[in-house]
Amino acid sequence: MTGSSISAESGVPTFRDAQTGLWAKYNAEELATPSAFASNPTLVWDWYVWRRELIGRTQPNAGHEALVTLAKLKPGLVLITQNVDGLHQRAGSTNIIEFHGRIDRDKCFSCNQIAPGTIETAEQPPRCEACGDRLRPDVIWFGESIPPAAMEAAFRATEDCDVFLSVSTSALVYPAAGLAQAAAARGATVVETNTNATPLTASADYPLQGLASFWLPAIAASVAQPFGTS
């Protein structure tokens, strides 16, 4: 499971980091809630256009790439991400459970139908082809729940796993934070990589302090050639 810090290593700004210039005067409730979109869809849409532009300038880093390598070495690998930036997908990862959606994908505000790619239209936000209501970014806003299908898939993968890697996540926000604990309770080996100590650090079997772009390539290399097999 990966969290926001692996994206930060690629220069993806956090929600608050992106609130510069004209965006600084708004609070999160005015930019990223269903009620904000209902009352001012253009403002919310423009905020996401801006953030997509910032993310579009970034590239996957060695941490993202190492997870692609790991999945080739361990085909059962399931990647749960809390990130919406799509960097795992751009790096080439598959079998991804998107906990918080994708910022570069739209869905209908009313009927939830996913929009087929970018819709070129003068009207912003564009309209849903199915029902005619407005499209919104397919991300989890404040006050919204993690999609039940993602939640179920994440818990299923956690129940099946031998090793749980908690990468660059604060391990503070539930329900995501509960996954590592659930894996540990079932006897899985828990590996954490993070620059800071988290609530998970003390109970992790391998608490690795540092950047994902450092540790994940090292982990992938050791899986490719375990110690003592050269």
Among residues 223, 174, 184, the alpha carbon closest in space to that of 204 is found at 184
Cβ–Cβ < 8 Å for 204, 190: yes
DSSP sequence for 187-224: T-EEEEEESS--TTGGG-SEEEES-HHHHHHHHHHHHH
Smallest distance from Zn ion to CB 147, Å: 17
Contact stretch for Zn ion (CB under 5 A) within 10-18, 80-88, 132-140, 205-213:
132-140
User: Residue for token digits 């300038």?
Assistant: 57
Smallest distance from Zn ion to CB 116, Å: 12
Smallest distance from Zn ion to CB 5, Å: 35
User: Residue for token digits 């590592």?
Assistant: 180
Binding mask 133-172 for Zn ion (x = CB under 5 A): x---------------------------------------
Nearer to Zn ion by C-beta: 64 or 136? 136
Q: Is 100 a catalytic residue?
A: yes
- Residue ranges of alpha helices (H) inside 92-191 are 148-160, 176-185
Nearer to Zn ion by C-beta: 103 or 108? 108
The residue within the footprint of Zn ion, chosen from 70, 91, 128, 188 (CB under 5 A), is 128
User: Is it true that the peptide bond before 125 is cis, omega within 30 degrees of 0?
Assistant: yes
Binders of Zn ion among 40-69, rule CB under 5 A? Answer: none
- Taken in order 159, 168, 149, 95, the sign of the CA dihedral is negative
Q: Which residue out of 100, 107, 134, 136 is catalytically annotated? A: 100
The residue within the footprint of Zn ion, chosen from 22, 28, 38, 131 (CB under 5 A), is 131
Smallest distance from Zn ion to CB 110, Å: 5
Please give the sequence-ordered ranges of beta strands (E in DSSP) within 38-78, or none if there are none: none
The yes or no reply on residue 22 touching Zn ion (CB under 5 A) is no
The yes or no reply on residue 111 touching Zn ion (CB under 5 A) is yes
Nearer to Zn ion by C-beta: 63 or 137? 137
The yes or no reply on residue 108 touching Zn ion (CB under 5 A) is yes
Nearer to Zn ion by C-beta: 73 or 131? 131
Q: Hey, what are 95's tokens?
A: 């079998």
Looking at beta carbons, which pairs linking 17-26 to residues 24 or more positions away fall under 8 Å? 18/50, 18/51, 18/54, 23/47, 23/50
Coil/strand/helix, residue 8: helix
Smallest distance from Zn ion to CB 48, Å: 18
Enzyme catalytic residues? 100
Contacts with Zn ion by CB under 5 A lie at: 108, 110-111, 113, 128, 130-131, 133
